Each structure stands twice: as structure tokens, then as C-alpha cells.
Amino acid sequence: MGLKIYINGTYYAKEDAKISVFDHGFLYGDGVFEGMRAYNGKVFRLDAHMDRLFDSMRSLTIESPMSKAGIAKAVNETLAINEIKDGYIRLIVTRGAGTLGLDAHLCSDPQVIVITDHLALYPKELYEQGLRIVTAGTVRTNPASLSPQIKSLNYLNNILAKIEGHLAGCVEALMLNDKGEVAECTGDNIFTVKNGKLRTPPTAAGILEGITRAAVIEIARKEGLSCEEVALTRYDVYTADEVFLTGSAAELIPIVALDGRAIGSGKPGPMFKHLLEKFHEEARA
């Protein structure tokens, strides 16, 4: 059976799933999305994703055509129709069709789209060997200009940094903010481990407040581990005992080198392995 894509209450075959070329989500990246994971047929922290989606819509003054419960139901039904137990979900809400101008008030009919599929963001060996990444020259967007808490369809800032990583032979890149502090990678949040203590940049550093990031902080504290949200520099990453990334698609994945400098032993560390195991236990519970 081919994949079925949900658009505003109707399911379409993959090749027939279309929206208007006048939709401002297409024309200007004017829309929001959530990337989610399903384990054993259940979406991990679906309520948290719904809350973030609706906060993003409110900040952009996009009027949702559906309630939180309605969209959550559409997500679960799309998983079931596609018979996906363990997979990835991309939920999108666009501004809707309008004119070629920027005036959002001339747009109508926001589109709610749900895409589900199986996803392997990184091959298994990278979880065992770790990623080698570089620092991008592209600076993370200043929160005063565009809040990174809005998970918008316009990811050009991240894409430019991702291109830099690719050109350097890496699958990821670290992004700094305009103060020179560590923000996040192009698609994932970052954690360091030093002397048994976890640290991760605060939202004020210009990061998206990741759902998986929040889960890891909760798990760490349940395990009695110290976990601080503090400003970090590249020095803190270079000198860390361990570094790992978190994200819905990536889950947890280790970083073993930054800018050619080995981190710790140059191999995935025990803290990462422990937290990944605990994360899987919670996600699959």
C-alpha cells in the first residue's frame, strides 16, 4: 500500500497530495510544523507537540481550522491508515492561499497536512561511532528578529549552516548566536557532559525548545544527575568529556569531534549510552 497523505480531512496518494502555489507556506515559508516520532503506534509526547504547534500559530496569527484534539486525532489516524507503528510524522499548518504580496490578511483556508513515513535520519553506525561536526559561519537568527521558538516553515538559516557542514564533509554543523555562544546544531539541540554534569544552552541563547531536549532533562533529573541550562562557548564543547545531540528524528546521537578536535575519548561516552537507554525505555513504555 502506498503512503496516504492527510490534507484538511481528506487522504491522498503521495503523488496526488497537492496545495495551491499561491499558499503563503509555499511562497514565503509562512506556516509552522512539528516533527514527531511514533513508538509502538503511539506518538511520543503528542500533547507537548500540540502545545508548541498552537503557540507557534498564535505568534504568527494563523487561525487554526481545527482544534488541538482534532489535529491530534488526524495524526493518530494517519499513522493507523498507513499502518506505521514506529515512524516519523511531519505535521504542517500553512497560512493558506493568498496573493503574491506579503499581506497575510488576504490569505484564507489554512492547510493542515500530516505526512507519516519510516525514517532513519542517521545510519546505525553513527550512533555507535559518533558524529564529527564543524562550526558554521552562519549565525543563528537573533531571537529579537525572529523567535526560534516558532517552528516555522522557513528554515533557511539552518539550511545555510547545513550546507556549510556538508561542504566540510560533515552531516551536521554547530551554530553560534550573535554573542558567539553555542546555540544548537542545524536540526538538533546540544548537550555537554563535564565531570558527570550535563549542560545545555538556555532558550535565551536562540534555540528551539526541543521536545526531546525537555525529555532528556527530565530523565537526567529523575536519574539524580545534575543538568543545567547555561550559556556555553565552543571552549566548553572542545573540553567536554562527552557531547550529544537531541531531536525527534535523531533521538540522541553522540558527537565525537568538533572542528577537528576530538571530544573526550573520541568515542561515544557512558552518559550518552545511559541516557539513550533510558530515553528508549520511556519512549516505548
pLDDT, tens digit, for every residue of 146-160?
Answer: 999 999 999 999 999
Measured over all CA atoms, what is the biggest interatomic distance in the chain, rounded to whole angstroms? 56
pLDDT, tens digit, for every residue of 223-257?
Answer: 999 999 999 999 999 999 999 999 999 999 999 99
In this prediction, residue 140 carries a pLDDT of 97
Residue 250: burial class (beta carbons within 10 Å; 0-12, 13-18, 19+): buried
9 Cβ contact list (under 8 Å, min separation 6):
74
Q: Mean pLDDT across the chain, nearest whole number?
A: 96
CATH code: domain 124-283 is 3.20.10.10
Helix, strand, or coil (residue 54): helix
In this prediction, residue 285 carries a pLDDT of 86
For residues 209-218, give the mean pLDDT. 98
pLDDT, tens digit, for every residue of 33-91?
Answer: 999 999 999 999 999 999 999 999 999 999 999 999 999 999 999 999 999 999 999 99
Question: Crossing angle of helices 211-222/46-59, nearest 10°?
Answer: 130
In this prediction, residue 120 carries a pLDDT of 76
For residues 84-102, give the mean pLDDT. 97
The catalytic site residues sit at: 151
For residues 180-207, give the mean pLDDT. 97
In this prediction, residue 1 carries a pLDDT of 65
Q: How far is CA 184 from CA 1, 110, 207, 232, in A?
A: 38, 30, 6, 10
**pLDDT confidence bin for 180, thresholds 50/70/90:** very high
Please give the CATH architecture assigned to the domain spanning 4-117: 2-Layer Sandwich (3.30)
Instruction: Out of 58-72, 118-132, 228-242, 263-277, pick the least confident.
Output: 118-132
Cα 38 from Cα 129, distance rounded (Å): 25
221 Cβ contact list (under 8 Å, min separation 6):
227
Tell me how many degrees the CA angle 14-109-112 measures, rounded to the nearest 5. 40
Where are the domains positioned within the chain? 4-117, 124-283
- The structure's pTM equals 0.95
